[in-house]
Structure 1
């Protein structure tokens, strides 16, 4: 909720629902997860997110505002989870099928960390074994973990599995995350084209639409460079000595 580029973006409305409600509804469509948990902060401004979780009959956890990994760990411990799949609150069109496939891959491999390659930005999710998450939280020397994947992929300490997107979904140049006003306009157009009457639509349908109407993907393409510059300013991976 503290975004300066698009203030209170989780509560912005598209088709009569807040963006975070669209995400909740899509996450609930996944079959494999035992439960859906909204992880938000103890900042008073984020109380409304916990209230939305209750409204939509999912669990919630409120923790550190800056330390996402600590928040994830404490939420997992509260709900006694051994493996979690994370979706960022900006990624409002998460694909339920990918959530299920991530869990299935964990059951086959017992990987510490599972990520995806080739998907549009904002379409992927990440799977984390809670035992590995606990180890990271014990070792890290940084309390700002807004960007945190490197703790699993760059340290060489964990079993990492990278899943390949199928050919039809392999569109890494497409931007599907909510961070700038242009992103909001992109999502508004997607919902206008595919989401009439609250209809659910899949990632495949989105990408087919973008093939047919490539001008939609151009709506927010210009903000990607600024987004990448913002990521470069994120706190680095630092472990305790």
Structure 2
């Protein structure tokens, strides 16, 4: 029987640099709405779960999930690895099933990249894989539930609990990477700051239509034609593990 794919989107309201960003308005809908819609177009994904915390401040995220008919799991705010493990287990993950990790600050996550990553992962014997060379914010991480369970049991460092996957790609015996045909890693398409949000507003204002999903190619074409947009958030510091 083919492995199921659970896409788990981690989301919280208490961002230090841009509080409440996951529900900020982007073309008339919350950022989280756009992420869900883009992942719904990934044909290989069987179940989408929003994983948030039990904090009262995250009640609006749970309400969003209910209103938009998305599965929701609420767990630890700080032990995100445990939140992922419990969410996957709650929604029926078996050892060989695949978990796709997404974060709720990436409204440009690309369905084609996710589909390619899943195909690459399924055709290999990797226990963990990620996308490399793509713009920050368009890819994902994938791993087996077995690998998640092993990390949950053995990952002890605070950064391993907070960032979910370091144990898998540092300690795992078989990590893989799907590389972009072109290196776009200098392009920043995540939303961590006001500058990032400004870029997102410009791109969505130009490319978004309610009845279709715009592609990474369309984003790149727009940025090539309008290079000044990339200067808006080019100096934003990307936090590293432990920061």
Correspondence list, 1:1-241, <5 A = 1-81=13-93, 82-143=97-158, 145-155=161-171, 157-167=172-182, 170-196=183-209, 199-223=212-236, 226-227=237-238, 230-234=239-243
Greater per-residue strand proportion: 2
Please report the TM-score for the alignment, with normalisation by the length of structure 1: 0.89
SS in structure 2 of the partner of residue 76 of structure 1: helix
SS in structure 1 of the partner of residue 88 of structure 2: helix
- Contact 1:39–1:75 (Cα < 8 Å) also in 2: yes
In the TM superposition, what whole-angstrom CA distance separates every residue of 1:106-149 from its partner, at most 9, and x where no partner exists?
22113210111100111110001110111111112135533343
Aligned mates of 2:164, 2:46 — CA distance in 1:
24
SS in structure 1 of the partner of residue 47 of structure 2: coil
Displacement, 1:151? 1.2
Distance 1:93 1:36, change over 3 A: same
Cα RMSD after superposing both structures: 1.6
Aligned mates of 1:124, 1:197 — CA distance in 2:
22
Residue-pair matches, total: 227
Equivalence for 1:237: none
- Contact 2:78–2:162 (Cα < 8 Å) also in 1: yes
Aligned mates of 1:195, 1:43 — CA distance in 2:
32
In the TM superposition, what whole-angstrom CA distance separates every residue of 1:137-170 from its partner, at most 9, and x where no partner exists?
1112135533343212222x33111111123xx3
Point out the more displaced range, 144-153 or 73-82: 144-153
Distance 1:211 1:131, change over 3 A: same
Displacement, 1:58? 1.8
- Contact 1:85–1:102 (Cα < 8 Å) also in 2: no
Structure 1: stretches of 5+ with no match in the other structure: 235-241
Aligned mates of 1:26, 1:221 — CA distance in 2:
25
Structure 2: stretches of 5+ with no match in the other structure: 1-12
Aligned mates of 1:163, 1:14 — CA distance in 2:
29
In the TM superposition, what whole-angstrom CA distance separates every residue of 1:149-194 from its partner, at most 9, and x where no partner exists?
3212222x33111111123xx3110001110000000000001111
